[in-house]
Structure 1
Amino acid sequence: MASLNPLSSNLDLRKAKHLLRRATFNYTKEQLDTFVGMSAADAVSNLTTNIPYILNEPYDPLPTSNPDGYWTSSSEHPNSFDGQGRKRAHVTAWWWHNAINQVSLKYKLSFFLHTCFTVGKDSGVGAASFFFDHLRLLDFYALGNIKTLAKKITLDNAMLDYLDNTQNNKNNPNENYAREYLELFTILKGEQIGEGNYTNYTELDIQQAAKVFSGFKKKGDRNGDIDTDTNLPIGYVNANRHDSTDKTFSSAFNDHIIVGRNTKETILEELDDFVEMVFSQEETSKAYCRKLYRYFVKSNISATAETDIITPLAQILLNNNYEILPVITTLLASEHFYDADDDDDTDNTIGAIIKSPLQLLSEVISLFDVKYPNPETEQLWFYRNFFLRYIHNIYFKGSGMEFFNPDSVAGYPAYYQEPGFDRNWFSSNTLIARYELMRDLLTRNDIYTHLDTVSFVENKINPEEAKDPNTLVFALADLMYPENIDTDRINYFKTFLIGDSDNYYWTGAWLQYLNTRNESDMNVVKTRLDSLIITMVNAAEFQLM
């Protein structure tokens, strides 16, 4: 049976790798060394600290003659700035730099919330400043309360624009936001059991929800309306545009009636009543727990997992009024998460998820200590050359993940589309970008990165292991892959070190380099190590976590 019992043993390397990959975007040998030997509960607790941003806001280095700079904190109207698409990309660069440089669950959960409350940054969120506020809202509640976020998101300026709720008025209703709120953001449909009846809600409920959401408007200048909990700019309530009639919901919500109200303060109470109604349903808590399971554990939810994992997690979520940490800490410290609850080798959780392009990029950068331009001192190179021109426009688009810009409000197919789920990251159209990533980081001069494979081996691999091609490949695989590799794979990979020669070729070349430290000897080992590590990164084993 699947078990949420806490893992009884301390983390070994295999389990530490599993936790660090699944819970953060920062994967390093140093952090692995910290986790090995810790209890799962202590390791997970270590990841739940809400660390402040290391980069407080994005910067636009263009136009070069007079940069817009820190435009998100400017008192000027958000729409007064040119290059809004570029600036939205710079916002994602800001978010990613924070995510990859902090060892925290915060950013994994923030991106999870993006998959739950989806907006597409280039598909109608408005000015880049509103998108910046939206990501900060997700970050604020990443270690907090899902239900509270589900209330706050309704007044988020980016969401108001994205799903047209700013156009939703009592005499001209717009049901877009209400429909997606039920179908995708919260309770989800369930099986359709009749015309307009989706088990968990009906078309009537969408109509009534749209009335609840009427009169919520975007605040175009970001001035004046600030949420007291998050300190973020928000939209506002136009009481004259709100439908103040009573809203009667279907039997799916026990024919619940929400009394209509007509002042700003009481309309917000009406919103609270609606959210409480939706979140009191057991199916809402189960929907979030299934999403968490697919995001953190694996896409296939077996009947056993549904009974033994999803149902009790959903109860934990309800018991804690939708605080996310009690659920996620229980899951990530459980026997089930670490494959320790059964002996079935056909149903593993470790190595069961294909890495997203975001995870692959972040893991390569952090593991191999890739130096990229400093966003505080080399803004033009970081924001324009490295991130916008390469990571954003080439790597992410080519690998099938437009960053924070899925092609529909349903989000990225990897997180919802059956039966493929995470296998959707792989196609004939996305392979090239994934496989070119390492080579580009090593060789492209226009993105200003520095990846030193020789220093990596010197600093991360035991010296006695590094000089022998067999032990070097095994040590690299032990660090890079979720599971050990066999002798055939070791023999294959080591050919990139020794070619057609014997093992002593690499041993001699490596010891020669260590002895002389001259450029010629370094280039010999660098050429071999570059080829080896590119191949090992592009191997199937590294694509899994």
Structure 2
Amino acid sequence: MDRRAFLRKPASVLTAPAAALTDTAAYTDPPGQETVSRFANQTLPDVPRTNASLAPYAGTWGPVQAAHLLRRCVFGPTRAQLAAAAGSSLTQVLNGLLTAPAAPAPPVNVSATDTSVAIGQTWTAQAFDQNFEGVRRSSLRAWWLGQLLSDSTLQAKMWLFWHNHFVIELADVGDARYGYQYAELLRSQALGNVKQLCKDVTVAPAMLRYLNGNQSTATAPNENYGRELLELFTVGKGPIIGPGNYTTYTEADVQAAARVLTGWRDNSTTIQGYYTASRHDTTTKQFSGAFQNQSIPNGGATEYQTLVDMIFGQAETARYLVRKLYRWFVYYVIDATTEQQVIQPLAAQLQQNGYNLAPVLRTLLASEHFFDAVNVGCYIKSPLEFSLGLLRQMEVAQPTSSNVAQQYAVWDYYNGLTNLQQQYLGDPPNVAGWPAYWQTPQFNELWINAVTLPRRNQVSDALLTTTGVTRSGFQLIIDPVAWAQSLPVQTSQDPNLLIRAFVDVLMPFPLTTNQLAFLNDALLPGLPDFEWTDEWTQYLAAPTNTAKKNAVATKLRALLRVMLSQAEFQLS
């Protein structure tokens, strides 16, 4: 496929109706891209959004601030997690977020099709077999999503960040074992050293295959990875100074990098990249003034490391990476003030720390800039953030590992949902990643369009029905009665306090008086508040009475159906 198609404007438009959420056949092919709405950004603002700097946040610490931090750092914090964070300090919460969980067990076989291993056993070390590739890839995607769903630390968000940064596409790599090795590499180093991760990705078999590094020889250097290493993975494009030449690198630098990277291949038995001296360009590689005219002599199997070290020696590499982190955690607009007061100092810190990521994340997430009011609730959730957040925040029961086939079927279903919303885990649309993180001036506005918004509503609506969604014999359903009953009685029996309790978890900022009144009417259409108090009290007195439970459940579902379709719920 043309992995650089992102350089051209999309021409295709999704015209098919949103598929029913129970139709698994609809998940076969990732959807295309809709043309950009005429209501989307046409330009970015050129005035400072805020003058807040990286100075440590010294304001109030409570539920509002804790919720903002957790919403940006995990896939949908639960009410219990929000309460625990609000009762701790900012430092304590960050310590927990930056503590990665133990490594998960590898994905397992859940299909009778794959006869290489028993159900429930991992396939990751088995020999490649094209007959099993489809079910193994489905297993990998399901496992990956399951880990994101269960992880309440920064590792999960950074795992997805690196997948969107050092992009591969599982469908193009064509070997699920390579995909697992790549996914595990990103997970294990998600909060670690960026420079080391770049070195490891460079010779990872999945990347060698995806960007044709395994075909690159001294007589025919392949420029694909060398180009993306500079343009997308490290130093980025600076201002253009000539055809193919930028202030940060030139076309000659791409060619020199390609020669450095010759000689690497992938071994489908060991599932590793390996070096072949006879295929390597042994000449000295000369780089341009963008790299201080440095040259790299023949270094054999370690020469690629010298190249990465040289690139990471450039201050612009740190700035490029920090800008991507900023857009991931804060907002997509980086004006001149933010560049000077946030990006530049963070980039300097990243370099000074030898590209260790955790200190930089701590500085950003503990800053007055991060907690500034303009940066709260301004970020449109991605499909994964929306879907996984909905499941976690509404505490939808999940199958356990006691039935792995059921568990993976449910995770596979979730992948289908996000695929319909135009974010398919394991397969970004091209080597640049999902456009919402780089396409200016729209950025994350691209997640919401005439196709994807109805599909988001379909997800929440389906889980709010009286029967929910059943996958492999497991019922996925939002139980609003249980959620409300877990609140203090004085809260749950008062319709306005109940609504505020839902708002505190689901919305990124307080709603207006008119909005709260609108939600009250969704719960009690045309009825006085005491009607809810009476019905709720009657239910609590007889919780096994079906009629009384249905009476309150119907009202709560109506409330949530409105809340989960509101614009505010799409924001973080």
Query: CA–CA distance in 2 between the matches of 1:269 and 1:516?
Result: 72
Q: What residue number does 2:388 align with?
A: 362
- The answer to whether 1:195 aligns with 2:243 is yes
Q: CA deviation at 1:92?
A: 2.5
Q: Which moved more, 1:61-70 or 1:38-47?
A: 61-70
Query: CA–CA distance in 2 between the matches of 1:237 and 1:288?
Result: 28
What does 1:114-513 align with in structure 2 at a 5 Å threshold?
114-122=163-171, 124-221=172-269, 223=270, 233-261=271-299, 267-339=300-372, 348-374=374-400, 376-384=401-409, 386-388=410-412, 390-393=413-416, 395-442=417-464, 443-447=467-471, 448=474, 449-459=476-486, 461-513=487-539
Change (3 A) 1:274 1:71: farther
- 1:277-296 deviations in Å (ceiling 9; x for gaps): 10000100000000000000
Question: Conserved in 2, the CA contact under 8 Å of 1:26 and 1:100?
Answer: no
Question: Conserved in 2, the CA contact under 8 Å of 1:175 and 1:207?
Answer: yes
AA of the residue aligned to 2:66: A
- The answer to whether 1:21 aligns with 2:71 is yes
Query: CA–CA distance in 1 between the matches of 2:558 and 2:477?
Result: 16
Query: CA–CA distance in 2 between the matches of 1:27 and 1:102?
Result: 10
Query: CA–CA distance in 1 between the matches of 2:123 and 2:60?
Result: 46
Query: CA–CA distance in 2 between the matches of 1:425 and 1:68?
Result: 40
AA of the residue aligned to 2:383: P
AA of the residue aligned to 1:482: P
- The 3-state SS of whatever aligns with 1:318 is helix
Query: CA–CA distance in 1 between the matches of 2:177 and 2:119?
Result: 13
AA of the residue aligned to 1:51: P
- 1:391-448 deviations in Å (ceiling 9; x for gaps): 223x112111122211110000111110111111001111122111112224444322
Query: CA–CA distance in 1 between the matches of 2:208 and 2:93?
Result: 38
AA of the residue aligned to 1:383: Y
AA of the residue aligned to 1:396: T
Q: What residue number does 2:91 align with?
A: 41
* Matched residue count: 515
Q: What residue number does 2:559 align with?
A: 532
CA RMSD of aligned residues (A): 1.7
Q: Which moved more, 1:211-220 or 1:526-535?
A: 526-535
Q: Which moved more, 1:96-105 or 1:165-174?
A: 96-105
Change (3 A) 1:26 1:95: farther
Query: CA–CA distance in 2 between the matches of 1:355 and 1:432?
Result: 15
Q: What residue number does 2:129 align with?
A: 80
Query: CA–CA distance in 1 between the matches of 2:129 and 2:567?
Result: 47
Query: CA–CA distance in 2 between the matches of 1:381 and 1:73?
Result: 18
Query: CA–CA distance in 1 between the matches of 2:161 and 2:150?
Result: 18
- The 3-state SS of whatever aligns with 1:446 is strand
Question: Conserved in 2, the CA contact under 8 Å of 1:10 and 1:37?
Answer: no
Change (3 A) 1:372 1:38: closer
- The 3-state SS of whatever aligns with 1:208 is helix
Q: CA deviation at 1:321?
A: 0.8
Query: CA–CA distance in 1 between the matches of 2:397 and 2:523?
Result: 24
- 1:128-177 deviations in Å (ceiling 9; x for gaps): 11111101100111111000011010111111111111111111221111
Question: Conserved in 2, the CA contact under 8 Å of 1:153 and 1:159?
Answer: yes
Query: CA–CA distance in 2 between the matches of 1:381 and 1:415?
Result: 33
Question: Conserved in 1, the CA contact under 8 Å of 2:63 and 2:86?
Answer: yes
AA of the residue aligned to 1:239: A
Where structure 2 has 5 or more consecutive residues not aligned to the other structure, the ranges are 1-50
Query: CA–CA distance in 2 between the matches of 1:32 and 1:98?
Result: 20
Q: What residue number does 2:158 align with?
A: 109
Query: CA–CA distance in 2 between the matches of 1:116 and 1:357?
Result: 17
- 1:453-511 deviations in Å (ceiling 9; x for gaps): 1001111x332121122221122112211111112111111222212222222221111
Query: TM-score, normalization: structure 1?
Result: 0.91
Query: CA–CA distance in 1 between the matches of 2:239 and 2:120?
Result: 48
Q: CA deviation at 1:64?
A: 6.8
Q: CA deviation at 1:219?
A: 1.0
Where structure 1 has 5 or more consecutive residues not aligned to the other structure, the ranges are 224-232, 262-266, 340-344
Higher RCO, 1 vs 2 (CA within 8 Å, ≥6 residues apart): 2
Change (3 A) 1:373 1:82: farther
- 1:227-282 deviations in Å (ceiling 9; x for gaps): xxxxxx52100111111111001111111110013xxxxx2321111111100001
Q: CA deviation at 1:105?
A: 0.9
Question: Conserved in 1, the CA contact under 8 Å of 2:522 and 2:559?
Answer: yes
Query: CA–CA distance in 2 between the matches of 1:174 and 1:64?
Result: 37
Q: CA deviation at 1:35?
A: 1.1
Query: TM-score, normalization: structure 2?
Result: 0.87
Question: Conserved in 2, the CA contact under 8 Å of 1:354 and 1:423?
Answer: yes
